[in-house]
Structures are given as C-alpha cells and as structure tokens.
Amino acid sequence: MSEKIHIEKGSVQETLIIPLYGRKLCAEVFPKLYTDESAARICERLDYDFSDLDAQAKSTFWRFGALEAAMRQLDMQWEINDYLAIRPDAAVVNMGCGLDQTGRACDNGTCLIYNVDMPDIIAAREELTPAGERERNIACNLNDYSWMDEIDGSCGAVFFAAGVFHYFTEAQARNLAQELASRFPGSRLVFDTVGKLGKRLMRATFKNFGMENYDECLYVENPEALRGWVPSATVSWRGYMLGYYAMDDPAVTGLHRVLAKLCDNVVKMRIMRFDFAFA
C-alpha cells in the first residue's frame, strides 16, 4: 500500500471528504440500493481524522444526508446510461468531479471518460485514483471554456454536474449550457438544482466556503424558466430523491421517505436535463 495522502483541515481538499464519506456510508447502510467500493478504498488511502464523521454517521439525519448524496449519483448514472444506450461511444464528462467515480461506474467499455475540476483537486485525484484506460483528467475552472477543447464529442457527449451548479450564478450556468449546446450539438447536460428554500438551507455551506456572491447563486423555483436558456433544447426534470428510484432497501425508514418527499416537493430538489438539438 502506498503512503497515505494527508488532507489538511480547512483546505479545499477537505471539501471532497464529506461527499466521499457520504457515498461510503450509504454503501454500508443501504447496500441493496447503492454500491460504491471505490469510496471505501479512497477513504483508506487518506490521512484524515474521520472520528467526527464516524460519530455523526450514527444519526438518522446524517444518514439521510448520505442517502441524498447516493440518490443524486444514481440519478446521474441513470441519465448517463440512458444516453450511452443510444450513443455508446460518447464522451462522459464529469464537471466538478472531485473524487467521484461516476464515469467509471457507467463505463460500457467503449465510452470516453473525462473528469474536470480545479488544478488542486485534479492533483489529489491523480494521486488517489489515476486516470485509467479511455479516461482523462482535466485541470481547469469550469467557467474557463478552454477545457471543452479537450473533449472529443464526435460520437456524442453527456455532461453532468453533481452538486456544482449551486455555486454558479444563474448567468454562469446559462452561459455554460449555451456554450455546450453550441460546441456539442446532440449532447446532453444533467445537473441538480434546489429551490429558494434549498438555497437558504445551504447558506451556512456558502459561508464556510467564503463565497461572497451567495445572493447571486443559482436556485430554481420554476424549472419551466430554464427552457429559455437554450430555446432549441428539450428540457425535462425529475425529483431528486424519488424521481428515478423507489429507494427499495429495508434500511430506508419511514422517516427517510417522508424527508425524501419533502426534499422533492418543498425544497424542490430536482435533476435537470437538457438535450441539445443537432445543428
């Protein structure tokens, strides 16, 4: 086993730990619903004090948070696999990838896998999970569209972002969608959103990241409004927690199901999908 990789408290790399740990926890607690062997392997490679997270993991609400993270990944995988069923040689592009392995989970043996994130995040990723066959890691800010130059979308492309668009302004999210539509006709874009209440609930997270533009960041009360971003695109959406799967696992409690309905219907957690027209 190679030397463990130290994660400093308060660092950018630490922001990768909670979703990673959440996926690990969900695979342990809800094994019939979700599997993610890579999350446990990566956690073992980290020099990081997980004691606080281990203590919180016993909480019903913290486990529901892990369930949220897992359902989002399953939703993204559903959309990717649906696209690959039609265009099996397409590019699968994880925007703001962190340490997520969704691309590999959807690998059909012929698709191309791209992971895009900031340079320090990609450096950590390269150390922990080096790019495999037909896979490439790209160090770039998503709002610097030069990363798109490195994507081979000649056989189609499905772009997805999990937990990323919350930190974009509406203009940044709209401009990114428009750029993808222009450069990659026939491609698909998938991302998650929350409503106004969801944005308020995330306020502490924004403050912890030192984000000054909280008030400008994207939230979606009425998804119909997003149809105007790319008029030629087909836009659809589903509930984040129950829109794709019934959460069939005996470990999913009645309280979890009530919270899931609240997330979809009150917090307005959704998976948005744009199918861009061919030129």
End-to-end CA distance of the chain: 50
Of residues 51, 167, 1, the one with CA closest to residue 98: 167
Tokens read off for 171 = 């203009």
Q: Does residue 26 belong to any structural domain of this protein?
A: no
33 within a domain of the structure (yes/no): no
| Tens digits of residue pLDDT in 169-187 | 999 999 999 999 999 999 9
Nearest to 218 by CA among 164, 162, 275, 159: 164
Taking each helix axis as running N to C, give the angle between helix 60-84 and helix 254-265, from 0 to 180 degrees, rounded to the nearest 10.
60
* Single-letter residue type at 249: D
Is 56 contained in some domain? no
Res 267: pLDDT = 94
**Where is pLDDT greater, at 97 or 208?**
97
Paired sense of beta strands 112-117 and 135-139, if any: parallel
Residues 34, 73: Cα–Cα separation, whole Å = 9
Q: How many domains does the chain have?
A: 1
| pLDDT > 60? residue 211 | no
List, as own/partner pairs, every contact residues 253-262 make where C-beta atoms lie below 8 angstroms and the sequence separation is at least 24, other chains included: 253/60, 255/60, 255/64, 256/60, 256/63, 256/64, 256/67, 259/64, 260/67, 260/71
> For residue 153, what is the DSSP state?
-
Range with lowest mean pLDDT among 86-90, 191-195, 248-252: 248-252
**pLDDT greater at residue 216 or residue 77:** 77
Average pLDDT, the chain: 91
Note the pLDDT of residue 17.
Answer: 84
Which tokens is 105 given? 């989970």
Res 10 pLDDT > 80: no
The verdict on pTM exceeding 0.85 is: yes
CATH code, 178 = 3.40.50.150
The token duo for 59 is 């909480």
Domain encompassing residue 242: 84-275
Structure tokens at 225: 């409004």
Which pLDDT belongs to residue 195? 94
Domain presence at residue 64: no
Q: Does residue 147 lie in a domain region?
A: yes
Task: Count the neighbouring beta carbons within 10 Å of the beta carbon of residue 197.
Answer: 15
Provide mean pLDDT across the span 66-71: 88
C-alpha distance from residue 24 to each of 16, 52, 246, 261 (Å): 13, 15, 21, 23
Per-residue pLDDT band for 1 (boundaries 50, 70, 90) equals very low
Q: Is residue 14 part of a domain?
A: no
Is 117 part of any domain? yes
Domain annotation covers residue 221: yes
